[in-house]
């Protein structure tokens, strides 16, 4: 694998681990305010991000390269509202999308077709991630902080199933 591409993969692996950690910080907020369904939804998001990190980790290893792990910043655990949490989640997912797009561009620039094929899954996943969070934000806007609406959404999102590992490439 090209040196620059490997460097970018290693950065993204750390970012995916951070994403998992960030969402775990959001779990602490939901636990603190007693919204167990939203906590469950965010726990599933934490697991999903961890699987993304490991998918990339395994890919780098399969390519015969060495993964270089970096430090992970401490995430926020204090938020003003449920809407604030999901607004920050969307902002983060949009940032992840830009990082994945950059990684794809580097792979394209070095003409690494295997990496391009591998990364297409992540590009599609980011479309889904942003849509899911945007849909939640739309519902939150509709309920306008009304406790009954928040509790209904808490119950709905609490039924999110555990993520399944992505298919092998």
User: 163 lies in a domain?
Assistant: no
Q: Is residue 168 part of a domain?
A: no
92 within domain boundaries: yes
Residue 160 confidence class, pLDDT cut points 50, 70, 90: confident
Mean pLDDT, to the nearest integer, of 61-77? 95
Convert the pLDDT of each residue in 1-16 to its tens digit.
999 999 999 999 999 9
Q: Provide the residue range defining the domain that includes 49.
A: 3-72+79-157
| Residue 164 is assigned to a structural domain of this protein | no
CA dist 5 and 19 (Å) reads 21
What confidence category does residue 158 fall into, taking pLDDT thresholds of 50, 70 and 90?
Answer: confident
* Residue 152 pLDDT class (50, 70, 90 cuts): confident
CATH number at 123 reads 1.20.1260.10
Nearest of 76, 71, 73 to residue 88 by alpha carbon:
76
Tally the domains of the chain.
1
0.75 exceeded by pTM? yes
What proportion of the chain, given as a percentage, has pLDDT over 90?
A: 83
Q: Decide if 107 is inside a domain.
A: yes
pLDDT of 161 reads 76
Residue 94: both structure tokens together: 């949009």
Are the C-beta atoms of 23 and 45 separated by less than 8 Å? yes
Q: Is residue 162 part of a domain?
A: no
| Consecutive H or E run containing 94 | helix 82-109
Asked, for residue 66, whether it belongs to a domain, the answer is: yes
Residue 62 forms part of a structural domain: yes
């Amino acid at each position: 694998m090209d040196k620059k591409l490997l460097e970018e993969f290693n950065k993204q692996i750390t970012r995916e681990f951070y994403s998992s950690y960030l969402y775990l910080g959001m779990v602490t907020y939901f636990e603190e305010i007693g919204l167990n369904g939203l906590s469950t939804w965010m726990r599933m998001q934490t697991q999903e991000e961890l699987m993304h990190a490991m998918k990339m980790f395994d890919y780098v290893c399969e390519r015969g390269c060495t993964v270089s792990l970096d430090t992970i910043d401490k995430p926020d655990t204090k938020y003003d509202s449920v809407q604030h949490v999901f607004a920050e989640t969307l902002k983060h997912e949009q940032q992840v999308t830009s990082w994945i797009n950059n990684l794809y561009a580097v792979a394209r620039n070095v003409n690494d077709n295997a990496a391009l094929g591998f990364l297409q899954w992540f590009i599609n996943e980011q479309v889904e991630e942003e849509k899911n969070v945007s849909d939640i934000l739309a519902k939150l806007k509709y309920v306008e902080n009304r406790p009954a609406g928040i509790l209904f959404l808490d119950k709905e999102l609490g039924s999110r199933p555990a993520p399944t590992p992505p298919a092998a490439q």
